[in-house]
Structure 1
Amino acid sequence: MQEHQAQKPLEAIPPPPQTLEETGLDPDLLVQLIVKTLHSAGEATGSEIAGDLRLPYFVLDPLFQFLRAEKLIEVR
């Protein structure tokens, strides 16, 4: 029988992405997820949306700015 070494729990957790590119996700997909999250919630803060998507706010901020400029989301 072959023995498997268990990874330490912290080694299995990748570091959070620092940029949109580091997420490895298409920005269009993230825009769709932001809009879908807002549609479901009705209202939410940027931090709440970032928490729902499990990404740091500063990673999503360029997309929030794009959505504001396109008037697809409203900031109060």
Structure 2
Amino acid sequence: MQLYGDGLVAAIASQVFAAPQGIPERCGKLAPWQLRRVTDYMECHFPDRIELVTLAALLNLSQSHISRAFKAQAA
């Protein structure tokens, strides 16, 4: 389970840092302020282990919700 989480965080990080900063469509994407908050946190804690639960807590979302939002963001 830990390897899955590590892979998910790595995939999320690569997509978040490459994502445009436009207004998200109504398909479950993160709002610009949410994306910015997660990006800032990841940049500040980059060499450290970043857990999905931590990112979800930053936005007051469930882990499943933020996971779906990241997937929608990448699409």
Question: What TM-score do the two structures reach when normalised by structure 1?
Answer: 0.42
Greater Rg by CA? 1
Question: What TM-score do the two structures reach when normalised by structure 2?
Answer: 0.43
